[in-house]
Chain A
């Protein structure tokens, strides 16, 4: 691996089996389930710019996220994937100095519009983080946390917890230790618990920022399977450095890159190409996309 490969492919921390794909893994191509038509957007960025202080982190992003589809965001490190993801459920509000311009429409309604409560936005648009972050509570309480704080009308919390854990494909592994600390679980189980915790409040959209980068290949595959199952009920947006992962599970893929400003040297993220995953990996229209997915970047 030459040095350019390394800067390009910051997923060295990821499982080697998944790292540095050189060609589209067409042999393992899943069946095409979405068509070329533009997706029915649940969530849509319209001319979104995100700034941190005076620094423009991403510029002019317009991107629809289709209903019950998995959309992958890929691109080199620092191109603003996490930034865009955080702007989709107003987690950027929590970052000092962050500012979002443009619109993020949720079923046509701007989530940054006047009077919109970010708390409600986050209840409908959930988020799973890169590093599993279960609460220092029991497994049961981790799942029940969301329904409790959002005051969900629940007949039986026990049933809700069981159902949710089943949907997150975790029930069989934890059913005998629901009252034990979530920290007793393995990293992969913790991450599935975090997914369970997120779907417990029945969001519409689930945002995932490199959810598998701290996991081994087996745990990664389990999460991928889970995402594919969840796709029937939820709209999923995933940031990943693992291109095989994008190719395996995403219906559509958006490729971002960073434009370097000649004078200031600032790197601003831009959306290069958004299309069906098969198109992006087999026949991209932009040469930068092709260079990136084939491992030649420059």
Chain B
């Protein structure tokens, strides 16, 4: 404060007023342009993709898509079993992966001894698991079902196991982050009242972490929703003419249906594929929007 007053009364050097900012030197400009271009290319690609899909598919985005079964006659074909199959598989995936992932994260974050070698090893490997290609999880599920002696592996529970394994590391990581964001003072406040560690976790820490956990989980599920590779490995069918009706039922999902249709030479099927893609993108956008809404709505000040 004292320096400011001295500078104004006895100026050593006037501030330059020629309007040339140091931000404008050539290197900064090149760098900024490069940043801007990268963003532009990414956005342009996305936009082209969506617009061209829209142009191709908008005509077939009608009620038949939701109500009809696949058919060799494109006018009568729909994605009904694929939509139901996706719901079944994602629902089962959620039931498998969410409790398991949250429980694992709670253990690691709240109870495990951070310094033990074993726990550090587990931690590193969860990070690694999150980076493993999805098809490997398909192979794992195939092997797992094979061990159990399941012959027809293209069943809802099989696909759900593969996808649950796929998103488990993501659920664990995002839950841990959400738990870590809960201030320690809250836990201490609870413990200082004579609550046990378990009570503190159930009644204070987990409820406070719910927004973070749900956004992370929704994003993980939306990733699972778009996956085709592990399911193809399980032998998912592209032509299913019945509604899936249970965990052991055969199924197909939307990405697989789209894959099947795009392989068809008839142009009408490509149109159908585009329409189904639009639906899938719409669902994914809706899920991501939900995640954002939850995050904003429940954002707490501590």
Contacts and interface: CB of A to CB of B under 8 A. Distances in A.
Of A94, A96, A120, A131, chain B has the most CB atoms within 10 Å of the CB of A94
B190 interface: yes
A234 to B, nearest CB: 15
B204 A135 contact: yes
Interface string A112-140: 00000001101110110101011110000
B195 interface: yes
A30 B199 CA distance: 42
A201 interface: yes
Contacts of B64: none
Contacts of B207: 136
B193 A149 contact: yes
B300 interface: yes
A295 interface: no
Interface residues of B, number: 22
Main SS class of interface, B: helix
Contacts of B59: none
Interface string B197-220: 001000110011000000000000
A145 interface: yes
Given A136-B207, A136-B302, A149 B199 contact: yes
A242 interface: no
Q: How large is the interface on A (under 10, 10 to 19, 20 to 34, 35 or more residues)?
A: 20 to 34
B196 A119 contact: yes
A21 interface: no
A95 to B, nearest CB: 10
Given A136-B207, A136-B302, A119 B194 contact: yes
Contact of B186 (A89, A122, A135): A135
B141 to A, nearest CB: 39
A122 B193 contact: yes
Nearest to A183: B301
Contacts of B193: 122-123, 126, 145-146, 149-150, 197-198, 201
16 contacts: A96-B115, A119-B195, A123-B194, A124-B194, A126-B192, A126-B194, A129-B185, A133-B185, A133-B188, A133-B189, A145-B193, A149-B195, A150-B193, A194-B189, A197-B193, A198-B192
